[in-house]
Structure 1
Amino acid sequence: MHPINCEGKCFTKTELIHANKAAIREKRNRQLNEEFLEELPDEGLFPIALAFDEHNRGEIRVQIIFDEEGTRGFLDLSKNRYNLLPVAIIEANGIVNLKYSGKSPYPMDREHEEKVVKKVVRDPKFRKIVLTAYDNQCAMCYINDTSLLVAAHIFPARLCGDDSVNNGICLCSNHDKAYEQGSILVKPNGKIVIHRGNIEVNNEFIRFPMNKNEHPSQERMRQRLKLSMEKQGIDELE
């Protein structure tokens, strides 16, 4: 098998169940437990971490991430079905758009209804390295409960493919939401700017990791600031 580019490819729950039923019907080697799939959240998006092309069989084997704890599974599907899977495009406000190839991944006589998708399952490796770098504490406040912490990308990974610790920042869920919405801006030197709203932060600058090699990339921070200012219609910051 040969690895192929799977960046952004994902399954909705509906597509995953249909692909698995096809694998069972077609007696493919890698199938998933049907009961397990039924228990997955309806609103979830399940990214493909790895994909391998079996040239001689016209088949793709994919590794799918099911949750943020890193639960994964393999599924075999036809090349055609794989090619018709959507690519997840995550906007700065957290809304997810699914880009299809222009064709339906389902037969014409099969109706389906998709729910609005707002939650993307993240690769736990990125979360782990970012939270560890920040010693499991929000960079803007004192919250250190890991259940309330988010490994936020500084510059959206969909635009740069950068899942390194230098493109990450550990934030509590409240500050992550404000950062995503542009209510909080961060300058390349780490200075926090409250753009709008009554948002409380504990420091004038974000708290950087102890290890300088894990500090946020200033280039990524410049890119993010420019993107946020454009979306907010801001010409200049004080």
Structure 2
Amino acid sequence: MHFIDSKGKYFTKTLLIEANNAAIREERNRQLKEEYLESLPDDKVYPIILALDEHNRGEIRVQILFDEKKTMGFLDLSKNRYNLLPNAIFNEDGTVELVSEEELTEKRLYPPGREYVEKVVRKVIRDKDFRARVLTAYHHQCAMCEINDISVLVAAHIYPAHLCGDDTVNNGICLCSNHDKAYEKGNILVKKNTEIVNRESANTKVSYNKIRLPINKADYPSSERLNQRLELSLKKHNNEFS
């Protein structure tokens, strides 16, 4: 991660809402509350006071100043979207020139109101031994049932590796293919205390109230990763039914 010179870059309210909507669609880590953005004045601009290149993966994290009280917030957006943001011109007499609406429209790569998704390029080097280490930790048995057929066992990431780059055993759990699919879809959840929550809509049964843990405590699933995955699954579920 490194700092980017963001001097002069700013959002209009329209651009800010569009960028935040994109962050929601693209499931980026830092988003802003939609209700708060809607409440902002239409005639003001919102400068970027800090920009960070997120490990050169095509994503920029910006810190935005909202008002004179120094209310600030972080938002993740694609590098392409960041580069298209307008730049204010600071004159020697202290005045500031903003980009005109016509110029903003001309420079837009995407038409207003058009929905699109820009994928974040995650340059994650996967550990080829991840599956072997996870299956060994769980003694080649699904953590939610009795299945121990290695041909149908999956080393599932608790929190997606493309979001965190974590290929340690503590971010893995051994599941059979059926439970892996249910966990991936969010039909089966696991709390940070390892308790299993089987949604009413899930047709896949589980054998335990909690996941079966590895014998070695050093291989236990990370409670932080479990909680991150739980929040991610609940968020997706709420978005689907909102």
Give the TM-score normalised by structure 2.
0.46
Larger Rg: 2
